[in-house]
Structure 1
Amino acid sequence: MTKAPFVTMAAATAALGTALGSLALQLRAEGYEQYVESVATFSILMYITATLVVVTWVRDARPRSS
């Protein structure tokens, strides 16, 4: 496969993780502690997803043995 879909997906999910991490910090600063944990967890899940997309890309780029 070409690298464009993998790079785009990894960048988009990493950007979403960054945005959610920033939102979690803003929520904590404004006193919405009850939402911080779930938003921060979702942020971490987005980083994990981006990492798994990169791993999939690397594994897909390997030559196949028949």
Structure 2
Amino acid sequence: MPKIPFGSLSAAIAMLATALGFLTVQLRANGYEQYVESAASATVVMYVTAALIVVTWVLARRPHSD
């Protein structure tokens, strides 16, 4: 079975979340308050997703006792 690129997937999602976080700050600075909460929520969801991918990566590397 080929190895799934957990590390690069997690890093890409974290980079996108960082970019969205910067966009959220810019939206707030430019007065688009109605969009800030949605963008901030999406940022948090992306960071949590990246963290869960890392957890999956760590668990997948452990030897199985089957």
| Structure 1 runs not aligned, ≥5 long | none
Aligned residue number for residue 46 of structure 1: 46
Q: Normalising by the residue count of structure 2, what TM-score does the alignment of the two structures yield?
A: 0.93
Q: Normalising by the residue count of structure 1, what TM-score does the alignment of the two structures yield?
A: 0.93
| Structure 2 runs not aligned, ≥5 long | none
Residue type at the aligned position of 2:43: S
Residue type at the aligned position of 1:15: M
Identity across the alignment (%): 57
RMSD between aligned alpha carbons?
1.2
Residue type at the aligned position of 2:14: A
- Runs of 4+ with >6 A deviation: none
Alignment of 1:17-56 (within 5 A): 17-56=17-56
Q: What CA distance in whole angstroms lies between the structure 2 residues aligned with 1:40 and 1:20? A: 8
Aligned residue number for residue 9 of structure 1: 9
